[in-house]
A and B are shown apart, each in its own frame.
Chain A
Amino acid sequence: MGSVLREAWTIAAKDLRLEFRSRTAFLSSLAFTALVLAIFNFARDPTVVTATDLAPGILWITFSFAGLLGLNRAFALERENRTLEGLLLSPISRHAIYLGKAMANLVFVGLVEAVALPLFALFFNVPILPVLGPLAGVIVLATIGFVAVGTLLSAIAVSTRFAELMLPVLMLPFLVPPITSAVQVTARLFANRPFSELVAWLKLLVGYDIVVVVTALLIFEFTLDE
C-alpha cells in the first residue's frame, strides 16, 4: 500500500510540476471561475432573493463548472504527447496511475476552489469566516467524490471523439449526489443550523465518496488500452 501511494505521488507531482511550469490551465480555470461568479450577479435580483439564500447554489455550480474544465487536462496531455504508453510500460501499478491522476486533479481543483471561495464571499457578501472550518470540510468531501468519478470518466472521454463535450455529458449526472449534499450542508452552515440537521447529508456524501473511490480503483484498469 505504501509503495502504491509513493508511486501515485510521483505521478501527481509530475502532473503538478507540468502544470506549475505553464500555469495555462490553472490561470484559465481561475479566470473562468471569476467570470462565472461575476455573471451570476446579473442572474439574481437582490431585492427579491437574499444573497444567503442563493449563495450555496451559486458556489456549487461555479465549483462544478470549474472542476469539469480542469478534469480533461490530466489525460489529454498524456494523449497529446503520446506518453500514456510510457506510463503504462513503467513498473507502477494501474491503481497508482489512477490515484496519482486523481491526486493531481484534487490539488488542481482544490487550488481553484481556494481562490474562488474568498472571491465568492466578496462578491455576494456572504460571511464565510465563522463557518470556514466546516465549510472547508464539506468542500473537501464533495470535491473528492467529484474528482474520483471525474478522473475515471476523463480517462474514457479523452479516447473518444468530441472529448470536451463527452466528459460533461457523462459526468453531470454523477454530480447530483455530491452537489445536492454539498448545497444542502452549505445552506445550513450559512444559516447557523445545528449539526444534527447536517448529519444525514454528510452521511450521504461520505458514503458516495467511499463507493466511487473504491469502484474507480477496481475498474480503472479497464479504461486503459491493453
Chain B
Amino acid sequence: MTPIATAERSVRRSAAWVIAALALVAAVYVRALAFTPLEATQGAAQKIFYIHAPSAWVAFLAFGIVGICSVLYLVLKEPRLDRLAASSAEVGVVFTTAVLVSGPLWGRTIWGAWWTWDARLTSTLFLWFIYFGYLVLRTAVHEPGQRARFSAVLGILGALLVPFIHVSVYMFRTLHPMPVVLKPGEPSLPGAMLLTLLSSLAVFTLFFSALVWQRYAQATLADARAAAQAEADDHA
C-alpha cells in the first residue's frame, strides 16, 4: 500500500473510533442525567461536573503528552513525535476551552459569579494561553523541520511553566485571602456519583484518544500527500 492509502485508511478508522467514543460519552451522560442522584445542595447544576472534571483531566493529559513528545523529538528528531505533540495540543486546547466554558456556567449558579480569580481558574486560563500560543506559533512557521524544533522548545518551556504558574497563583490567593470564594472542595462522592464520574473520565479519555488519533492521521495524510506532490514535481 502507498503511504497515502495507509494514511487514508487510518483517517477512516479513527473517524469510526471518534463516533464510537462520542456515543459512549452520550451514554455516560444519559446515566449522569437520568440515573445518578441529584446533589443535595447544588441540584441539577452539579451535573456539569461530569463534563467539567473529565475535560480538565483530559486537558492535563494532553499537555503532558505535548511535553513528553517535545523532549523526545529534540532527542530523536522523529517527525511522528512532532505530529503527535501537535495533535495532542490541538485537542488539549479544545478540552481546556470546554473546562473554561463549563466552569463559569457552573460557577454562576453555585458561586453567584461567572468568573472569580480563584487559583485553579487562573492557572487553567494560563494553561489555555500557553497552548494557544503553541498552536499560533505552529501556524507562523512554514518549514516543517524548523516548525517542529520551535514547537518542541516551546512545548518544553510550557510544561515547565505550568507548575510554576500553579504555585504562583496558589500563593497569590493564600497570601491575599479573597472575599469568600465558595469553592466546593472535593466532595466525598456517594457511590452512584463516583461511578458516573469514573465512567465519564474513562469515556472522555477514550474520546480524547480517538480525536488525537484522527488529527494525527490527518497530519500524516497531509504530509504523505505533500511528499508525493514534491516527488511528482521532481519528475516533471
Residues on A lying within 8 angstroms of B by beta carbon are 149, 152-153, 156, 159-162, 166, 169-170, 172-174, 176-177, 180-181, 184, 200-201, 204, 207-208, 211-212, 215, 219, 222-223, 225-226
Q: Indicate the size class of the contact surface on chain B.
A: 20 to 34
Note all chain B residues with C-beta closer than 8 A to A149.
157
Q: Is the CB of B165 within 8 A of A176?
A: yes
Known contacts A152-B157, A156-B137, A169-B136; is-contact A223 B168 (Cβ 8 Å): no
Q: Is the CB of B140 within 8 A of A166?
A: yes
Note all chain A residues with C-beta closer than 8 A to B136.
166, 169
B141 CB within 8 Å of chain A: yes
Known contacts A166-B136, A184-B172, A222-B74; is-contact A173 B165 (Cβ 8 Å): yes
Interface residues of B in 138-164 (CB under 8 A from A): 140-141, 145-146, 149-150, 152-154, 156-158, 160-161, 164
Determine the distance from Cα of A200 to Cα of B129 in the docked complex, in whole angstroms. 26
Known contacts A170-B133, A184-B172, A200-B171; is-contact A177 B164 (Cβ 8 Å): yes
Q: Is the CB of A215 within 8 A of B74?
A: no
Known contacts A159-B146, A184-B172; is-contact A204 B164 (Cβ 8 Å): yes
The A/B interface has a contact count, at CB < 8 Å, of: 85
B167 CB within 8 Å of chain A: yes
Note all chain A residues with C-beta closer than 8 A to B150.
156, 159-160, 222-223
* 30 A-B residue pairings within 8 Å (CB atoms): A149-B157, A159-B141, A160-B140, A160-B141, A160-B150, A161-B140, A166-B136, A166-B137, A169-B136, A170-B137, A173-B130, A173-B161, A176-B165, A184-B171, A184-B172, A200-B171, A201-B171, A204-B168, A204-B171, A207-B164, A211-B160, A212-B160, A219-B153, A219-B157, A222-B149, A222-B150, A222-B152, A222-B153, A223-B149, A226-B145
Note all chain A residues with C-beta closer than 8 A to B165.
173, 176-177
B175 CB within 8 Å of chain A: yes
Q: Is the CB of B168 within 8 A of A174?
A: no
A95 to chain B, nearest CB (A): 15
Q: Is the CB of A180 within 8 A of B172?
A: yes
A202 to chain B, nearest CB (A): 12
Note all chain B residues with C-beta closer than 8 A to A181.
168
B114 CB within 8 Å of chain A: no
Give the residue of B133, B149, B168 whose beta carbon is less than 8 angstroms from that of A176: B168
